[in-house]
Structure 1
Amino acid sequence: MDVVKLKEWIGRTTESHDEITAYPVKALAATLDYENPVTVRGTAIAPLWHWLYFLPLHRQSELGADGHASRGGFLPPVPLPRRMWAGGRLWFHQPLRVGDAVSKVSRILDVSAKTGRTGSLAFVTVEHKYSGPDGLAVTEEHDIVYRENASPNAPAPEPVPAPTDEEWVQEVATDPVLLFRFSALTFNGHRIHYDKQYVTAVEHYPDLIVHGPLQAMLLMELVRNNLPDAVVRSFSFRGVRPTFVPQRIYVCGKRSADGKSVELWIRHEDGALAMSASAELN
């Protein structure tokens, strides 16, 4: 892997445009088992729900074997077969609203590589800036990790124990229908989320993998549901361990002593930490 060549992508930018329409908000609410939300023009969408827009519209002939777009173009052509959304950091400057015409400017911030326990790893960090009619609304840094295919007999990494001192907890059952609906909503063709034959035989995972962004959304929704009047100013999350269907997960959170932030995490049935996150409140 020629890291020096891949670093030539740092600084590349692309711009796209979209409109905040009502249907994706209604569809995600149904997927999360919410009542039909109010989506009249001017209704603010929830933090992270901007992920329902600016979806990749690659032609079928442009897709790779894993269901993602073929390597190259805006993202660097990292020659490692497995890729995942590893985490991110977001700052919410003002809400996006139904009916808004929005622009998105994306820029490659960094490309790096290292050798880990499972072989070669590459990391790409992308910045996205979303601007609506009143200016900058969301700044996001998106971490993508690329890795080698796993050996079928490779031992799983030791789990990290998750905290058990949560103030709030929501139990969520994962199943293929939930993953399919979220993939459809985000136009995500990555086969690890819906093609069990592919994910087990090619990428050597034990079952379908629950989307990292879906888990991050569940954490953010925990804050919204328990602190409905709070304004989230920033949010960061990091995937720690994959979540596989049909694991039940526990979406957990607790407020800081001063009430200005929330510590968040997802715990597996066996007590392992799946994702850690934090939210800063206004």
Structure 2
Amino acid sequence: MERPTVLTHEEVLTPEHAEAFASLVDVPVPDLAADGLPLLWHWLYLSVWPAQRDIGADGHPTRGSLPVPPAPGQRRMWAGGRVRTRHPLVTGRTAVRRSEVVSTTTKQGRSGPLTFVVVEHRITQDGVTCVVEEQDIVYREAVAPDGPGPVPTPDGPAATPAPVAVPPAAGERRVALDPPHLFRFSALTRNAHRIHYDHEYARSVEGYPALVVHGPLQALLMAESARAAGAVGRLTMNYRLVSPLLEHQGLVTGSEPSPHGWNVHVRDDSGRVTATGTVSNEE
């Protein structure tokens, strides 16, 4: 299996991807040619489109990309990361992303061995570094040949009563989700992971009772909560995805001021937190 450790990719950044994302999650579009992409919006660009023969059963590339699974069939989860914006990443110009695996660590988890891979991305325009980030990717054991078996759905006969909905508080907003919304975000970010659009695969192979909301979508919505509160310019964001969020559970995102910037979060309708982060100004 090919195991590249460094990859580069370049692309002319056009406004269409940013405009499509803004319409998907109902947020304003800044002056992209002057002020540049908002925090984390570079994820809408510079993704590699692999050959279909290089796509694994779960939808992720198995070779020719970063990272690749440590062993065949292992399941991938996006766990978190750190991002620094140093200069505006503007549309209408070419950007270059250099990606490198900087560490790989294996630990024993409750459900078996886990492999933690940290990938660093550096994005430049005209030789100037605009974005530096590290992504934390976790791989868990391959699915057994017969799979984990069906998982009871929330509306089954043994389902527990629905939790009481917690309305959005000050600084929070609810983002409506449904399968077309998740599918459109997958298409926009070139993410073919089947847990986000293939209900039968998510349920019978990976053990989720419903479609799973993308970790990157949750992180982007947290960044947008901070932007709505005034976070612009050179920013640093640290975020963690702490629990799976299913599409029927609802998504509420919000931010609150902190001594160094903003604390951000995503929760479901019941108040269960699924992602957390901090955003701060570098100046």
Normalised by the size of structure 2, how large is the TM-score? 0.85
Q: In structure 1, what is the equivalent of residue 134 of structure 2?
A: 141
Alignment of 1:49-128 (within 5 A): 49-71=41-63, 74-79=66-71, 81-128=74-121
Structure 1 residue 53, shift from structure 2 partner: 0.8
Q: In structure 2, what is the equivalent of residue 221 of structure 1?
A: 224
Cα distance change, pair 22–152 in 1 and its aligned pair in 2 (3 A)? same
Q: In structure 2, what is the equivalent of residue 248 of structure 1?
A: 250
Corresponding residue to 2:210 among 195, 207, 212: 207
Cα distance change, pair 32–250 in 1 and its aligned pair in 2 (3 A)? same
Q: In structure 2, what is the equivalent of residue 238 of structure 1?
A: 240
Cα distance change, pair 40–167 in 1 and its aligned pair in 2 (3 A)? closer
Count of residue pairs the alignment pairs up? 262
In 2, Cα distance between the equivalents of 1:178 and 1:118?
A: 31
In 2, Cα distance between the equivalents of 1:175 and 1:99?
A: 33
Aligned partner of residue 112 in structure 1, secondary structure: strand
In 1, Cα distance between the equivalents of 2:234 and 2:169?
A: 19
Q: In structure 1, what is the equivalent of residue 261 of structure 2?
A: 261
In 2, Cα distance between the equivalents of 1:38 and 1:233?
A: 16
In 2, Cα distance between the equivalents of 1:205 and 1:247?
A: 13
**Structure 1 residue identity aligned to 2:249:** Q
Deviation readout 1:101-134 (Å, 9 max, x if unpaired): 1111111110011111111211100000000126
Structure 1 residue 196, shift from structure 2 partner: 0.4
Contact 1:173 / 1:246 at 8 angstroms: preserved in 2? no
Q: Does 1:174 align with 2:166?
A: no
In 2, Cα distance between the equivalents of 1:55 and 1:165?
A: 34
Q: Structure 2 regions of 5+ residues with no counterpart? A: 153-166
Structure 1 residue 71, shift from structure 2 partner: 4.5
Displaced runs of 4 or more, over 6 A: none
Normalised by the size of structure 1, how large is the TM-score? 0.85
In 2, Cα distance between the equivalents of 1:264 and 1:73?
A: 31
Structure 1 residue 205, shift from structure 2 partner: 0.7
Give the share of equivalent positions with the same residue, in percent.
35
**Structure 1 residue identity aligned to 2:83:** L
Aligned partner of residue 241 in structure 1, secondary structure: coil
User: What CA RMSD, in Å, does the superposition of the two structures yield over aligned residues?
Assistant: 2.5
In 2, Cα distance between the equivalents of 1:33 and 1:142?
A: 26
Contact 1:91 / 1:138 at 8 angstroms: preserved in 2? yes
Q: In structure 1, what is the equivalent of residue 122 of structure 2?
A: 129
Aligned partner of residue 246 in structure 1, secondary structure: helix
Q: Structure 1 regions of 5+ residues with no counterpart? A: 1-5, 156-163
Contact 1:52 / 1:185 at 8 angstroms: preserved in 2? yes
